[in-house]
Amino acid sequence: MDQESAAASGGSLISLTDHEQRYYSGLHALCQADAPGKLSSGKVAELFKASQLPPEALHKVTEVCGAKHLGYFGTAQFYIALKLLAAGQSGLPIRLESVSGTDLPLPRFAGLKNEPESRHAAAPPGADPQGSAPGSVARNPADRSTFRHLEASAEKKEPWSPPRSPCSSPPRSPLAYRGYPYSKQRNGVDAQIPYDNKPSSRPGAQLEQHSSPSRYVSKPAVEHPAMARASSIERLNQQATMNYSDDDPWRMTAEQLEYYTNQFKSLQPDLGALILGAVAKNFFTKSKLPIPELSHIWELSDVDRDGALTFTEFCIAFHLIVARKNGYPLPESLPPTLQPGFSQREEEQIPDTPESLEPLIVFEDAEPRSCQVDPSGIGRLEPSVATRKQDLQGESLKQDTSVKRLASSREKSTLQLGAFPERPEPHLELDPQMRTKTRQRSYSSTSIEDAIKKAEEPPTPPPRPQKTHSRASSLDLNKLFQQGAPGVKGGWLLPPALPPRPPTSQVPHFLNVSEQATQAKVQQPNFADFSHFREEEESSVKLEEQGPSSRFGLSSEDLTSASKQDVSGTPHSQAPQKPIRRKYHPESQNLETGPPPPPPPPPPPPAMPFPPPAKPSQKLLSRQKREIQMAIRKNRETNAVLRRLNSELQQQLKVVHKERVTLESQLELLRPLAST
């Protein structure tokens, strides 16, 4: 059968020359195999149309190459089809015989400005006529992508492995077709976007070492009069680099991330801070994309909908702009590889496929600090199963002190984002609530919102300490502040909260503990909370003992025992979280003053945490600063929460008022009736 032989010819018939092989594999890569061996028929159809053959010829090609029979374009069929296209273009009849063994020029596809035939002359790249030079340069830098693709897909297509092996030599398969949609776009663009030059030069440099001939060729290309062409090549470089990672343009490479970081820093030196909408607007407008597209990109990348861009959001937006400039249509929704939680997921998951190794490496390189600096943090993440996103926020907030603020704020965002996939459920259940009631404007508000919701409920009497799971860092901070705990790392340590701890008995101890706890904390900040929580519980006797060393002994054992209690404490503390927190709060308030005060804003910087320097004063000062910073943060968060609470209460008041009005009107209606 014709088709069967065609299929069989996939392995035997097609003896492609080097050129052809590379060209075809490039085109094959372009056609985006969505299943191993299958090419997307849409792209193949485009390709065929671009060959400018009459439709009946195209049908014949499809038939002869066996795709019609199979129903899809496999690699073999695709290669045969390409040869047939070449044959058709040179005027030969579209038959299998015409493609076997004869020297055919490479198939031409419309929109390309280069001459495939001259390439087929098998001249070394340097000898190519200038008209094809850009094409070959376009080829070479893009080779890397096809090279990668080939390697990745080599194992998928057994029959092709022999022809593939020569490809491992510096590939030169042209990606002229890939340049097709892109060069179409660039035709009208003369000016280069200045800020886009950097990414192209960097991947360009990277690719150059890969294929030295390309450097030679790139010179004539650069001399090429059309600036658009040179910029197109650079774009192709970049595009190739993007495609380098598994042909997935929605995945950021290391150099891209680095570039985005530099750009971010140029706008906003603090990597943890936000870029305001107006600033970002001016910046992205420079890319000369049309405003509706920029608007759409913004919608995609502003994940938390706050009108400003975090570093991650900025990278996403930038990446989308870069992709768009390279001709990729904007997606309707954010691709999974670009979502903010993605990088964190990669850090924590073991990659299954070799392809994912690269992005994994990318993000590990990009954020090594977050990994290194928080080994304890992340280590704690695993054991404390019930750790939630907000806990991590608190944790990262607390661990600010140990790292420079820049790094730490990045950790905060990355950790926070990293926890996102870990704990989707609690996040989801919080989100709809917040969305419906108020618009969540800042990521840190989630925990506070819960804390404040408690404020609405009347404070109940004796709180159960074990249920206190200290979700809100503010809650714990309050307690800690009262106890004079500076530099609290307690944010995430609090979840272990305080399992069974008789509240009343501890009341007198807290104040005493505070001073000793400060000393303990100065030296072991990570264990601070544990130490003084457990201390209270275990040793009312030991309170009289002085000496930080004893505290440490306690703290280490506290830590282990507390961590065990974490898991038990937190799961059930999560559910009753809401009612409990408020209950605990009055208790903590009781510690200092008798009557439970109203839902307090974060306590003022405590006077007692900083007793006269019995220890090195520098640590005290730094702790003081940290504590003040944290207090400020807490204040701000609580302000936001209170504001939201206020608005909610206003809404409720309106509703109630309206009801009252309707009831009054009804009453009035009834009154005349009653009187008659």
Least distance in angstroms from the C-beta of 297 to another protein: 9
Residue 296 as a binder of another protein (CB under 8 A): the answer is: yes
SS (H, E, C) 74-108: CHHHHHHHHHHHHHHHCCCCCCHHHHCCCCCCCCC
- What one-letter code names the amino acid at 211? S
Tell me which of 286, 305, 405, 564 binds another protein, using CB under 8 A: 305
Rounded to 5 degrees, φ, ψ at 73 are -95, 105
Least distance in angstroms from the C-beta of 16 to another protein: 44
How would you label 594-620 residue by residue, b for 16+ Cβ within 10 Å and e otherwise? eebeebbbbbeebeebbeeeeeeeebb
Residue 316: closest CA among 338, 332, 290, 299: 338
Strand partners, 38: 35
Tell me which of 11, 159, 277, 421 binds another protein, using CB under 8 A: 277
Contacts of another protein in 438-477 (CB under 8 A): 439
Residue 428 as a binder of another protein (CB under 8 A): the answer is: no
Pairing relationship of beta strands 38-39 and 33-35 according to DSSP bridges: antiparallel
Residue 654 as a binder of another protein (CB under 8 A): the answer is: yes
Residue 299 as a binder of another protein (CB under 8 A): the answer is: yes
Residue 660 as a binder of another protein (CB under 8 A): the answer is: no
Q: Cβ distance 16 to 169 under 8 Å?
A: no
Residue 337: closest CA among 245, 446, 473: 245
Least distance in angstroms from the C-beta of 308 to another protein: 9
Tell me which of 292, 432, 594, 595 binds another protein, using CB under 8 A: 292
Least distance in angstroms from the C-beta of 327 to another protein: 20
Least distance in angstroms from the C-beta of 652 to another protein: 11
Rounded to 5 degrees, φ, ψ at 95 are -140, 160
Give the x-and-dash track for 632-651 against another protein (CB under 8 A).
------------------x-
> Considering beta carbons, is residue 291 or 614 the nearer one to another protein?
291
> Considering beta carbons, is residue 63 or 306 the nearer one to another protein?
306
Residue 123 as a binder of another protein (CB under 8 A): the answer is: no
> Considering beta carbons, is residue 296 or 501 the nearer one to another protein?
296
What is the C-alpha separation between 135 and 119, in angstroms, rounded?
A: 9
R_g of the chain computed on alpha carbons = 33
Least distance in angstroms from the C-beta of 320 to another protein: 13
What is the C-alpha separation between 293 and 109, in angstroms, rounded?
A: 29
Pick the stretch among 134-142, 280-288, 395-403, 464-472 that binds another protein (CB under 8 A): 280-288
Take residue 307 and report the two structure tokens written for it: 């009108």
Take residue 378 and report the two structure tokens written for it: 């992340």
Tell me which of 265, 288, 404, 658 binds another protein, using CB under 8 A: 658
Q: Report how far apart, in Å, the C-alpha atoms of 208 and of each of 152, 212, 223 are.
A: 21, 6, 17
Residue 278 as a binder of another protein (CB under 8 A): the answer is: yes
- Within 457-547, residue ranges assigned H as helices are 473-482, 490-493, 503-523, 528-538
Residue 158: closest CA among 352, 10, 354: 10
Least distance in angstroms from the C-beta of 312 to another protein: 17
Cα angle value 588/589/593 (rounded, 5°):
130
Least distance in angstroms from the C-beta of 446 to another protein: 17
Residue 281 as a binder of another protein (CB under 8 A): the answer is: yes
Q: Report how far apart, in Å, the C-alpha atoms of 543 and of each of 484, 535, 663 are.
A: 15, 8, 61
C-beta atoms surrounding 593 within 10 Å: 9
> Considering beta carbons, is residue 205 or 291 the nearer one to another protein?
291
> Considering beta carbons, is residue 436 or 675 the nearer one to another protein?
436
Residue count at the site for another protein (CB under 8 A)? 27
Rounded to 5 degrees, φ, ψ at 77 are -60, -40
Pick the stretch among 18-26, 50-58, 275-283, 664-672 that binds another protein (CB under 8 A): 275-283
> Considering beta carbons, is residue 302 or 558 the nearer one to another protein?
302
Pick the stretch among 252-260, 292-300, 532-540, 614-622 that binds another protein (CB under 8 A): 292-300
Tell me which of 44, 280, 407, 640 binds another protein, using CB under 8 A: 280
Pick the stretch among 138-146, 256-264, 298-306, 507-515 that binds another protein (CB under 8 A): 298-306
2's CB contacts (< 8 A; 6+ apart) are 63, 64, 66, 96
Pick the stretch among 66-74, 87-95, 432-440, 501-509 that binds another protein (CB under 8 A): 432-440
Residue 219 as a binder of another protein (CB under 8 A): the answer is: no
Least distance in angstroms from the C-beta of 592 to another protein: 37
Tell me which of 14, 294, 451, 522 binds another protein, using CB under 8 A: 294
Take residue 565 and report the two structure tokens written for it: 């209690």
Residue 432 as a binder of another protein (CB under 8 A): the answer is: no
C-beta atoms surrounding 220 within 10 Å: 18
Residue 229: closest CA among 116, 141, 145, 113: 113
Least distance in angstroms from the C-beta of 342 to another protein: 20
Residue 667 as a binder of another protein (CB under 8 A): the answer is: no
Contacts of another protein in 366-425 (CB under 8 A): none
Contacting positions for another protein (CB under 8 A): 276-278, 280-281, 284, 291-292, 294-296, 298-299, 302, 305-307, 332, 435-436, 439, 650, 653-654, 657-658, 661
